[in-house]
Amino acid sequence: MALKTLALAALLGVSSFASAQNERNPATPLITFDPYFSVWSMADHLTDQNTKHWTGTEMPMRGLVRIDGTAYRWMGRTPGATPAMKQTGLHVTPTQTVYMFEAAGVQLQATFLSPSIPTDLDLLAQPVTYLTWKASAADGKQHSVELYLGVEARIAVDTADQQVTWRRGRAAGLEILSVGSLEQRALARAGDNLRADWGYFHLVVPSGSDATTSTAANSQAEFLKTGSVPQDDDLDQPRQGNRAPLVAVAEKLQVGGSQAVERHVGLAFTQPLAIEYLNRRLKPYWARNGKTVGAMLTEAMKGYASVVSKSDAYDRQLTEKLTKDGGPVYARLATLAFRQTLAANGLAADMDGSPLQFPKENFSNGCIATVDVLYPSSPFFLYFNPALLEAQLKPVMEYASLARWKFPFAPHDLGTYPLANGQVYGGGELTEDDQMPVEESGNMLLMIAAMGRAQGDWHFAKQYWPVLVRWAAYLKDKGLDPENQLSTDDFAGHLAHNANLSIKAIDALGAFAEMAKGVGDNKLAAEYTALAQQMAKKWIDLAKEGDHYKLAFDSANTWSQKYNLVWDDLLGLKLFPASVKNTELAYYKTKLNQYGLPLDSRKDYTKLDWELWTATLADDDATFHALTDPLGKWLDETPTRVPLTDWYDTKTGAQEGFQARSVVGGIFIKSLRQSGLGHKQ
């Protein structure tokens, strides 16, 4: 190991950095909170491009440094000829992204920390990312180091032409620069390819250091000349205009010897309202008890040291567990999926203060609380904190319990983010043809059963039992041999007699039987257990085709990933003999392409989440690695630089569609199977 790598590992407090010193990710998370506050680097080096929102729209954060009077870039592109520092390292952990740079005898580490720890809801709900700099002398000499961070107002608006308002203020030893749209039309627009339209971005700087702050548009140019930023005049006076400010901070450091000098700031985004749910306007979860923005920011910055310590320990423990569960490729995939899964959700407070969580169907159709998005992401929440899955399923069950939901099966969605006022999929007057009846009903039964097992009680199933009985009855009639309808893979079109969808229905009925037993209805439990067992036997006869099982019962010479079969193991249903999954796994190994296993025999594209579900069927490590090792190659070589896509071509590695979605939480199904439902974190 090189001395530089050893020094870096020591600085980070991690021993495994050497194996991932120069990570190449499709995109690298910087700020990851919710669908509005989500900023990424979509290049190999932090200086190759401007930083971007997950949609690909630029949200420039510009980083500069002057070392003994000579200027360099450490983040973003800038006009002119300012050279970039050499990026010597990049390492991503579950909660942190760490960059290392070097120039003119100085090493600079920039760490973005989003403390998204799912078991700590107060911390998870806090809309603050910490940016920490550590500077040290690489040559042992004394150096004058001047650091700059400038954030463009585009971080707080949907489009660059929107007028903004901004202000400077102080609170409890903090300098707070805030910027947001002038109109501030809360919850006025819903859609997919949208950014923040209301709320305020805050650059939060602890007082007491040599930091100076500015909202002047020329702060970057002034810093390059002098190492300082222009001082604003009035505090606490909101201003507005056509010109967009740069909220900026400059820090003066002296480095030398062996000690690193450290500074940090907070990057926050606050909105007074988070979600509209059944025409009720809900506050963000952090504000549920009347906490003000100032109080939240003060608390977040005062807790900095504790948060860093907690996040470091969490990252080390989780990384070790992920590597043990599935090896280095699996750990890398899961690490990249960790913050992305959470950042595709909005966390709000119900009227009684309880959490409600709403995923956005990013770059698909913008739907909110989509059931077949909840389903693939559910392993993440079952593994880390089942209470968060309950916070996602509760809105769906409340909506499905209303008289306005007239169908005997589960809904597809609750609206378009951030408005969860009723299903929009299918458009207009909803009909059965617009739905995914077997898909969504099976999804809900499986998730609720798994959640009950993970929580160790059946309170949720009991609360909505009549609805669950109705959905089970629907699957009893329609599930074994599904009619021509859509599944979660709706991009592939309608398909009748779908063998994988049939597995979902069968396992869902077995899961329902478990729930019936849990709520005390032993007669119904026995009936549905016997029914599911009979259907599984019929499935084998319908689907068998030589050395594998078909895509559709009536389609010869076809195959598909039977990823839904994973619930047979997770829930211990044992409806299908082990020979079914083992036969399929052996066949899949003959169908692997350069970057993974196709979804089925129709196309070369695949789904990242389902690949991990399919691989998790394997009882032996060799088969699991055979199916997942190509995904490490895909991470290194995909030409598409976006936050993890879950739909890509297995021959070219290129994105087919979708990005930054929460469904990548399905990657954690391997750890869930290893630990079991109901394990203790």
Q: For the chain, list the domains and their CATH numbers.
A: 22-271 (2.70.98.40), 322-343+592-676 (no CATH)
* Ranges in the chain, pLDDT < 50: 1-20, 234-236
- According to the model, what pLDDT value does residue 489 have? 85
pLDDT tens figures, 524-543: 999 999 999 999 999 999 99
Interior angle at CA 265, CA 259 and CA 270, nearest 5: 160
HEC profile for 554-599? CCCCCCECCHHHHHHHHCCCCCCCHHHHHHHHHHHCCCCECCECCC
- According to the model, what pLDDT value does residue 52 have? 98
Amino acid letter at 181? S
Phi, psi of 606 (to 5 degrees): -140, 180
Phi, psi of 267 (to 5 degrees): -115, 115
- According to the model, what pLDDT value does residue 238 have? 58
Alpha-carbon gap, residue 15 to 319, rounded angstroms: 11
- According to the model, what pLDDT value does residue 237 have? 52
- According to the model, what pLDDT value does residue 242 have? 54
- According to the model, what pLDDT value does residue 239 have? 62
Alpha-carbon gap, residue 301 to 173, rounded angstroms: 10
Q: Do 32 and 129 form a contact (C-beta atoms < 8 A)?
A: yes
For all residues of the chain together, what is the average pLDDT? Answer: 93
Task: Supply the pTM of this predicted model.
Answer: 0.95
Structure tokens that stand for 563 in this block? 């990823």
Phi, psi of 656 (to 5 degrees): -90, -40
